[in-house]
Structure 1
Amino acid sequence: MGFSKLVFLISVHILFSLIPISSEFELTPQEIPKIFFKFAKKAEVFDWMVGIRRKIHENPELGYEEFETSKLIREKLDELGIPYKHPFAVTGVVGYIGSGKPPFVALRADMDALAMQEMVEWEHKSKIHGKMHGCGHDAHVAMLLGAAKIIQEHKQMLKGTVVLVFQPAEEGGGGGKKMLDAGALENVEAIFALHVDPDLLLGEVASRAGPIFAGSGFFEAVISGKGGHAAIPQHSIDPILAASNVIVSLQHLVSREADPLDSQVVSVGHFQGGGAFNVIPDSVTIGGTFRAFSKKVFAQLKKRIEEVIVRQAAVQRCNATVNFNEDEKPFFPPTINDKDLHEYFHKVAADLLGSSRVKDAQMRMGGEDFSFYQQVMPGYMYLLGLQDETGENLASAHSPYFKVNEDALPYGAALQASLAVRYLLEHQPEVPLRNSNKHDEL
Structure 2
Amino acid sequence: MGSFLIVHSLLIFLLFLLSTALCNLDHTHYAKEIFQAAKREKDWLVSIRRQIHENPELKFEEHNTSALIRRELDKLGVSYSYPFAQTGIVAEIGTGSPPVVALRADMDALPLKELVEWEHKSKIDGKMHGCGHDAHTTMLLGAAKLLSQRKEKLQGTVRLLFQPGEEGGAGASHMVKEGALGVAEAIFAMHVDFTSPTGTIGSKSGPLLAAVSSFEAKIVGKGGHAAEPHQNIDPIIAVSFSILALQQLVSREIDPLSSQVLSVTYVSGGTVNNASPSYVEFGGTLRSLTTDGLHQLIHRLKEVIQGQAAVHRCTAYVSTREEEHPLLPAVVNDERLHKHVKRVGSLLLGPQNVKVDKKVMAGEDFAFYQEAIPGSMFSIGIRNEEVGSIHSPHSPYFFLDEEVLPVGAALHTALAELYLSEHL
Q: TM-score scaled by structure 1?
A: 0.87
Give the C-alpha shift of residue 391 in structure 1. Answer: 9.2
Give the deviation of 1:364 after TM superposition: 0.9
Tell me the residue number matched to 2:32: 34
Paired with 1:152 and 1:165, the residues of 2 have a C-alpha distance of 15
The correspondence for 1:103, drawn from 90, 99, 103, is 99
CA contact (8 A) 1:31 1:351 kept: no
The reply to whether residue 310 of structure 1 matches residue 330 of structure 2 is no
Question: What is the one-letter code of the residue matched to 1:332?
Answer: L
Cα displacement string for residues 319-355 of structure 1 (whole angstroms, at most 9, x for unaligned residues): 1111111122111111011111111111110011110
Query: Does the CA contact (< 8 Å) of 2:389 and 2:399 recur in 1?
Result: no
Q: Which amino acid in the other structure matches residue 213 of structure 1?
A: L
Instruction: Quote the offset at 1:393 in angstroms.
Output: 7.0
Q: Would the aligned equivalents of 2:389 and 2:398 in 1 still touch at CA under 8 Å? A: no
1:385: which partner in 2?
A: 381
Q: Which residue of 1 aligns with 2:203?
A: 207
Give identity over the alignment, percent.
53
Aligned residue number for residue 81 of structure 1: 77
C-alpha contact (below 8 Å) 2:338/2:376 kept by paired residues = yes
- Between the aligned partners of 1:75 and 1:278, the Cα distance in structure 2 is 63
Is 1:66–2:62 an aligned residue pair? yes
Distance 1:129 1:275 in 2: 32
Give the match for residue 280 of structure 2: 284
Matching residue within 153, 156, 160 for 1:164: 160
2:340 aligned with 1:344, yes or no? Answer: yes
Partner in structure 1 of residue 14 of structure 2:
none
- The separation in 2 between residues aligned to 1:33 and 1:336, in whole angstroms, is 28
C-alpha displacement of 1:160: 1.1
The alignment yields a C-alpha RMSD, in angstroms, of 1.7
Counterpart pick for 1:189 among 162, 185, 188: 185
CA drift of 1:281 comes to 2.0
Judge which range, 191-200 or 318-327, deviates more: 318-327
Q: 1:39 to 1:214 in 2, by over 3 A?
A: same
Letter in 2 for 1:37: F
How far 1:279 sits from its partner (Å)? Answer: 3.7
SS at match of 1:116: coil
Residues in 1 aligned to 2:173 and 2:29: alpha-carbon distance in whole angstroms: 35
Match of 2:81, SS? strand
Moved more, 244-253 or 170-179: 244-253
Amino acid at match of 2:356: D
Counterpart AA for 1:205: I
Establish whether residue 116 from structure 1 lines up as the match of residue 118 from structure 2: no
Letter of the 1:348 counterpart: V
In 2, Cα distance between the equivalents of 1:117 and 1:240?
A: 35
Inter-partner Cα distance in structure 1 for 2:403 and 2:389:
16
Q: 1:277-335: per-residue Cα shift (whole Å, max 9, x none)?
A: 44432212212111112233222111111111111222232211111111221111110
Structure 1 residue 94, shift from structure 2 partner: 0.5
Q: Distance in 1 between matches of 2:112 and 2:267?
A: 19
Asked if 1:53 is matched to 2:44, the reply is: no
Aligned-partner Cα distance in 2 for 1:195–1:287? 29
1:154 matched to which residue of 2?
Answer: 150
CA displacement at 1:237 relative to structure 2: 2.2
Is the Cα–Cα contact under 8 Å of residues 30 and 348 in structure 1 kept in the other structure? no
Shift in Å, 1:274: 2.6
Q: What is the distance in 1 between the residues matched to 2:323 and 2:28?
A: 45
SS at match of 2:188: strand
- The one-letter code sitting in structure 2 at the alignment partner of 1:402 is F
Give the TM-score normalised by the residue count of structure 2.
0.91
Cα distance in 2 for partners of 1:277, 1:305 equals: 30
Q: Measured at CA, do residues 273 and 117 of structure 1 come closer, stay the same or move farther in structure 2, by a change above 3 Å?
A: farther
Distance 1:359 1:391, change over 3 A: farther
The residue type paired with residue 39 of structure 1 is A
Q: Deviations over 1:104-161 (max 9, x none)?
A: 1111001111122222222222222222111111110011001111111122211111
- Equivalents in 2 of 1:311, 1:143: separation in Å? 50
Please state how far the C-alpha of 1:403 moved relative to its aligned partner: 1.6
| 1:410-442 superposed Cα distances (whole Å, 9 cap, x missing partner) | 1111101110011111111xxxxxxxxxxxxxx
C-alpha separation between the residues in 2 aligned to 1:225 and 1:128? Answer: 44
CA distance in 1, matches of 2:373, 2:32: 28
Structure 1 unmatched ranges of 5 or more: 1-26, 429-442
Change (3 A) 1:93 1:356: same
Q: Is 248-257 or 106-115 further displaced after alignment?
A: 248-257
- From 355, 360, 363, give the equivalent of 1:364: 360
Where do 5+ consecutive residues of structure 2 fail to align?
1-24
Aligned to 1:218: 214
Q: Distance in 2 between matches of 1:183 and 1:30?
A: 37
Structure 2 residue aligned with 1:418, among 414, 419, 423? 414
1:369 counterpart letter in structure 2: D
- Counterpart of 1:384 in structure 2: which amino acid? I
CA 1:118–1:340: 2 relative to 1, 3 Å: same
| Separation (CA, whole Å) in 2 of partners of 1:140 and 1:412 | 8
Distance 1:359 1:144 in 2: 22
**Contact 1:33/1:348 (8 A) holds in 2:** no
Q: Distance in 2 between matches of 1:112 and 1:322?
A: 30
